[in-house]
Amino acid sequence: MQEALDRVIEKYRLEEGSVISLLQDIQEEFGYIPEDSVSYVSDRTGIPQSSFYGVATFYAQFYLKPRGKNIITACCGTACHVKGAERVISRIRRELELTDGEDTTQDGLFTVEDVACVGACSIAPVVIVNKEVHGKVSATQLLKEINNLKKETDA
């Protein structure tokens, strides 16, 4: 972990106002912001931990907990909303047995999250599965995709 963090710190050493960039790179490396990484980077850079947490909790992009192996991002922009995104989302959340306030499945296989708008409104509703954009999705289609992903993990 230290080696990776030192690399990140070095990259932004000369830059002013690098808290967000530091956090983005840490998350790129680990998939989330581990507590240890914050204390380490804070010690090395002299930027107080509170600054990191202040920023990390302000922006939607940062995660303080590990996320699932597969990430399903549902767009809930206006166009998607009027094209029934909510019904699709609640169907897959139910399928994955996610209760309110929970985003990641117990087995750590899936994380289901919202994004305000991915800007692909003309093919609404849109869901991104592992960085691949799917347009005009239906719940049935997604359930199939989820089952495929489950099988891939089992294999």
Q: How far apart are CA 110 and CA 99, in angstroms?
A: 13
Three-class secondary structure of residue 129 per DSSP: strand
**Binders of other proteins among 86-145, rule CB under 8 A?**
87, 90-91, 94-95, 115-124, 126, 131, 133-135, 138-140
Spell out a b/e string for 74-104, using b for 16 or more CB atoms within 10 Å of the CB, else e.
bbbbebbeebebeebbeebbeebebeeeebb
Closest residue by Cα to residue 4 from 14, 20, 31: 31
Closer to other proteins by Cβ: residue 60 or 155: 60
* Least distance from other proteins to the Cβ atom of residue 57, Å: 9
* Token pair 């996610």: residue: 98
CA angle 112, 66, 97 (to 5 degrees): 35
84 contacts other proteins (rule: CB under 8 A): yes
**Binders of other proteins among 42-81, rule CB under 8 A?**
51, 54-55, 58-62, 76-79, 81
How many residues touch other proteins (CB under 8 A)? 47
Closer to other proteins by Cβ: residue 62 or 155: 62
Interface segment toward other proteins; rule CB under 8 A; list 36-44, 82-90, 98-106, 147-155: 82-90
Three-class secondary structure of residue 111 per DSSP: strand
93: CB partners within 8 A, 6+ apart: 112
Closer to other proteins by Cβ: residue 9 or 115: 115
- What are the residues binding other proteins (CB under 8 A)? 16-21, 23-24, 51, 54-55, 58-62, 76-79, 81-84, 87, 90-91, 94-95, 115-124, 126, 131, 133-135, 138-140
